[in-house]
Amino acid sequence: MQFARVKPRASAEVAFTIDGRPARARVGDTLMTAMLLNAPALRRFEFGEGARAGFCLMGACQDCFVAFVDGSRVRACTTLVSEGMAVLTGASDG
């Protein structure tokens, strides 16, 4: 886990999956926050064995792009997590 919630968020819980594994977040969390509260990285690096966890955290770079099972891609730092999202990190067959 890269992130730890310092102050509990009172909003409703959201269920989603990361590489097919169940994960939970809170309404209002960005996908980046939700993923890094549940996993060690956002995605695998395309050109090596490293993992990526985001860079600018404000939507100016492409480091936090993640894929959904339908093949679409979004910036995790500017996309709000929603119920039922199915995210792939590239770390497994998902």
Domain with 74 in it? 13-88
- Is residue 30 one of the residues assigned to a domain? yes
Q: Looking at residues 81-90, what average pLDDT do you find?
A: 93
Does 5 reside within a domain?
Answer: no
Concatenated DSSP letters of 57-80: SSSSSSTTEEEETTS-EEETTTSB
Tally of domains in the chain = 1
User: Is 4 inside a domain boundary?
Assistant: no
In a domain, 72, yes or no: yes
Interval 49-78 mean pLDDT: 80
* 5 secondary structure, DSSP code: -
Interval 5-20: pLDDT, tens: 777 778 999 999 999 9
